[in-house]
């Protein structure tokens, strides 16, 4: 039952939808306090959790940033009636420190169906909030059959130069 008015969506060849998200450190801290670190394995893979761990424990802002990045990346897909496939949108830390998005399984299929070849993302945080903005790398839509979780993996090309054009060629 939709209760909000809707407008016709623009689109067409070359059209790219940005995604953005903001995550409250307070909310994530509460989840951590109430459910423990293991709770976040429902949202992040082990490598992602390692990326936002420090010698003294979990880097809360880093964790919030990854959560925001996943949501922002998902928003670029503009899919209807789909729950965010948290663990299929993988946000890892590149050697240079910038985030890399890797789409797997359901997320990869959703992206392929709308012609998204990859997603580039940027994360920022300060004290109480982490934010992320994501942009899709658009190609041709691919017909994908089935909705299971064993599809091909999907990785993004040229993430470094898209995310940090000032280091292109370095």
Partner 1 sequence: MSEGLEQVKQWILKRHPERTDIAPDTDLIDNRLIDSLSFVEFVFLLEQLSGRSIDMDTLEVDEIRTLAAIEEQFFKAEVH
Q: Can you tell me the distance from the alpha carbon of 94 to that of 96, in angstroms, rounded to the nearest whole number?
A: 5
8 Å CB contact between 119 and 156: yes
DSSP-assigned states of every residue in 17-71: --EEEEEEHHHHHHHHHHH-GGGGGGTS-HHHHHHTEETTEE-HHHHHHHHHHHH
71 is in an annotated binding site: yes
Q: Can you tell me the distance from the alpha carbon of 121 to that of 69, in angstroms, rounded to the nearest whole number?
A: 7
50, 115, 116, 42: which is closest to 85 by C-alpha? 42
Instruction: Using CB under 8 A, pick the residue from 11, 16, 27, 157 that binds partner 1.
Output: 27
Can residue 6 be called a binding residue for partner 1 (CB under 8 A)?
A: no
Q: Can you tell me the distance from the alpha carbon of 16 to that of 12, in angstroms, rounded to the nearest whole number?
A: 9
Q: Which of residues 136-165 bind partner 1 (CB under 8 A)?
A: 149
CB of 14 to partner 1, least distance (A): 28
CB of 81 to partner 1, least distance (A): 5
What would the x/- binding string for partner 1 be over residues 76 to 95, using CB under 8 A?
Answer: -----xxxxxxxx-------
Can residue 23 be called a binding residue for partner 1 (CB under 8 A)?
A: yes
Q: Which of residues 102-121 bind partner 1 (CB under 8 A)?
A: 105-106
**Contact footprint for partner 1 (CB under 8 A):** 1-4, 23, 27-28, 31, 35, 39, 42-43, 67, 71, 74, 81-88, 105-106, 149
Annotated binding site: 21, 71
């Amino acid at each position: 039952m939709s209760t909000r008015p809707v407008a016709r969506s623009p689109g067409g060849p070359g059209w790219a939808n940005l995604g953005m998200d903001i995550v409250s450190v307070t909310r994530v801290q509460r989840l951590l306090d109430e459910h423990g670190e293991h709770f976040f394995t429902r949202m992040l893979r082990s490598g992602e959790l390692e990326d936002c761990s420090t010698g003294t424990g979990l880097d809360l802002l880093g964790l919030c940033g990854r959560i925001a990045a996943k949501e922002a990346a998902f928003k670029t897909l503009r899919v209807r009636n789909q729950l965010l496939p948290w663990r299929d949108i993988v946000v890892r830390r590149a050697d240079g420190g910038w985030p890399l998005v890797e789409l797997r399984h359901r997320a990869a299929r959703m992206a392929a169906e709308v012609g998204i070849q990859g997603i580039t993302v940027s994360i920022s945080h300060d004290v109480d909030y982490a934010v992320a903005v994501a942009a899709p790398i658009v190609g041709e839509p691919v017909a994908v059959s089935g909705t299971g979780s064993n599809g091909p993996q999907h990785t993004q090309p040229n993430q470094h130069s898209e995310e940090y054009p000032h280091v292109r060629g370095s």
